[in-house]
Amino acid sequence: MKTKEDYEHNLIKYHGFSEPNLNNKSYDELRDLYENIQKDRLENILEFMYEESGLDRHDDSSDLELASLWKRLKELYGKPEECYKFLGSIVRKFEYEDIMEILTLHVQDRIYKNIYRKLRVKFREYQEEMLSELEKICKEFPEEELYTLTKVFQLKRDDVKWLRAYIKTLKNGENTQKAKYLASMKHYTLEKYFEKSYDDEYSEYITNVKVKKELIDEIASLTKYQKSELFKKSVDDLRYIREFEVKSNDDLIRERRLLASFINRFDKVMYDSENVKFNKLLSEAKDELSEELIGQLVSYYEGKDPEFARKIKLGFSF
């Protein structure tokens, strides 16, 4: 927790305030002043990021005439490999809607459905390539920001022009560093000064990633599950596994303690010639120990004192 002196020091050193201006302010006033400055800073960062997102929308389409597209597709129809390659090239040069506008003019043609299916395959491949490239470019962003951006990219997956523009701009090293800096500053400001805003901004990440990691770490420490296997499960499934395993672990600890207690007590009556205490303890063991624990009790004494083990087995009517 920051002290009054911490706020004064930061306001003087980093924000141009003079000591006389701050001396008469209370702790709450200094805190509010400092947090408002940080909030303005965050809003400026977000505004700048928004402006930067208005990226170059220039389309690098080649001079290939869309009007001749259908003719070329008919020529390649009997050559599946070449047809796929050609479709792969045009989805990178033209907007999907423009390609479809040409194709639908020939919807009655017998090859239309086949060409349309091939086009969808190549278009999806291109989308995945761009999404993967964007994630690669942004891989050094704060984890929360990368997760949030990835969700945005997924929502915009059908806007190929938008994705293409982001890739083109972010591939520039200077722009990549600028975007990384802005994302890091946004994350730092939210995390350090605005806990509620942080929770709101990254709520999906917290639910689906942070919480998931914590659950996986806890389950992995209790069980033989592989983390790679656990990552495939939903948060709800992980919570169920955690609750089950925690209960099982608690039950196991309780059973071990109970067995250790009875072993300690049986040790004390091992040489009771009158068997009064032994029979009383045997009766308690029948009531409190499961068949599995009784078996473990007998196994323990078979290794320690086979004669006493036979006595216990006889008492339990094995």
189 CB-near residues (< 8 Å, 6+ apart): 38, 41, 42, 45
Query: How far apart are the C-alpha atoms of 177 and 175, rounded to whole Å?
Result: 5
Q: What is the pLDDT of residues 277-296, one digit of tens each?
A: 888 898 998 888 888 888 88
Q: What is the pLDDT of residues 211-260, one digit of tens each?
A: 888 888 888 887 778 888 887 777 778 888 888 877 777 778 888 889 89
pLDDT score of 318: 54
Percent of the chain with pLDDT over 70: 86
263 CB-near residues (< 8 Å, 6+ apart): 297, 300
Q: Which carries the bigger pLDDT value, residue 193 or residue 142?
A: 142
SS3 annotation, the chain: CCCHHHHHHHHHHHHCCCHHHHCCCCHHHHHHHHHHHHHHHHHHHHHHHHHHCCCCCCCCCCCCCHHHHHHHHHHHCCCHHHHHHHHHHHCCCCCHHHHHHHHHHHCCCCCHHHHHHHHHHHHHHHHHHHHHHHHHHCCCCCHHHHHHHHHHHHHCCCCHHHHHHHHHHHCCHHHHHHHHHHHHHHHHHHHHHCHHHHHHHCHHHHHHHHHHHHHHHHHHHHCCCCHHHHCCCCHHHHHHHHHHHHHHHHHHHHHHHHHHHHHHHHHHHCCCCCCHHHHHHHHHHHHHCCHHHHHHHHHHHHHHCHHHHHHHHHHCCC
pLDDT score of 271: 81
What are the backbone angles phi and psi of residue 91, rounded to the nearest 5°?
-70, -20
pLDDT score of 44: 56
Task: Give the range with max mean pLDDT: 10-19, 107-116, 155-164.
Answer: 107-116
pLDDT score of 65: 62
Mean pLDDT, the chain, integer: 80
Residue 63 pLDDT level (bands cut at 50, 70, 90): very low
Q: What is the pLDDT of residues 149-206, one digit of tens each?
A: 888 888 888 888 888 888 888 887 787 888 888 888 888 877 877 777 778 878 888 7
pLDDT score of 122: 93
pLDDT score of 273: 75
